[in-house]
């Protein structure tokens, strides 16, 4: 893999665990300054920062509930103030809850939509605000094949992930960005 992110500032939401952690590692190893957000996984996020700095990379972890508009505003103001720019935003934070639809409470549904979809909306809007001023930047939204195909026992989760896909495609068109064509292959959404 040949990433050209040397000297870039990258934000990875939900970067303390799972996919976010792996993305943050790759970006840091390729030379980006990585800002990792977490809501509940402080220990994991701080551990990743130590891991990155131990190999000569640069990173910091910031606590933010990115489903809350005021916290997103503070986060992005802080990034712009401290770094002067934002080159890459990987919108990865999310939760999974599984339950049959008839057993899913309205509160469970609302929580999935808030944490998975609303957070992407808020962060995407804030990132676009910075990136449009600098006339550059990349936003990567992490969704799930479940948002395309659905899955038994995951109707609410699927709805939250489908919302991310629709939001991402629509914002790309609004911002006159080129989207890669997508096709389904082996249960993955793969750029062609």
Show which residues are catalytic: 157
Task: Write out the H or E segment, with its range, that includes residue 183.
Answer: strand 182-185
In three-state secondary structure terms, 81 is helix
Side-chain half-sphere CA neighbours of 42 within 13 A: 4
Q: What is the DSSP letter of 116?
A: I
Cα separation of 61 and 139, whole Å? Answer: 19
For the chain, the straight-line distance linking the first and the last C-alpha, in angstroms and rounded, comes to 17
Token reading at 60: 């910091």
**Pairing verdict, β 188-191 and 182-185:** antiparallel
Q: What is the DSSP letter of 101?
A: G
């Amino acid at each position: 893999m040949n990433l050209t992110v040397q000297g870039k500032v990258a934000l990875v939401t939900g970067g303390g665990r799972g996919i976010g952690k792996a993305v943050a590692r790759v970006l840091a190893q390729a030379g980006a300054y990585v800002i990792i957000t977490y809501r509940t996984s402080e220990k994991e996020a701080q551990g990743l920062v130590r891991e990155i700095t131990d190999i000569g990379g640069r990173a910091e972890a910031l606590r933010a509930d990115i489903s809350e508009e005021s916290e997103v505003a503070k986060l992005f103001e802080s990034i712009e103030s401290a770094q002067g720019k934002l080159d890459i935003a990987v919108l990865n934070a999310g939760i999974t809850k599984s339950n049959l639809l008839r057993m899913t409470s309205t509160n469970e549904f609302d929580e999935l939509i808030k944490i998975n979809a609303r957070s992407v909306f808020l962060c995407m809007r804030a990132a676009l605000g910075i990136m449009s001023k600098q006339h550059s930047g990349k936003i990567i939204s992490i969704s799930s094949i479940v948002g395309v195909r659905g899955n038994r026992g995951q109707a609410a989760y699927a709805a939250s992930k489908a919302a991310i896909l629709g939001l991402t495609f629509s914002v790309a068109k609004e911002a006159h960005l080129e989207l890669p064509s997508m096709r389904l292959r082996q249960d993955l959404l793969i750029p062609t």
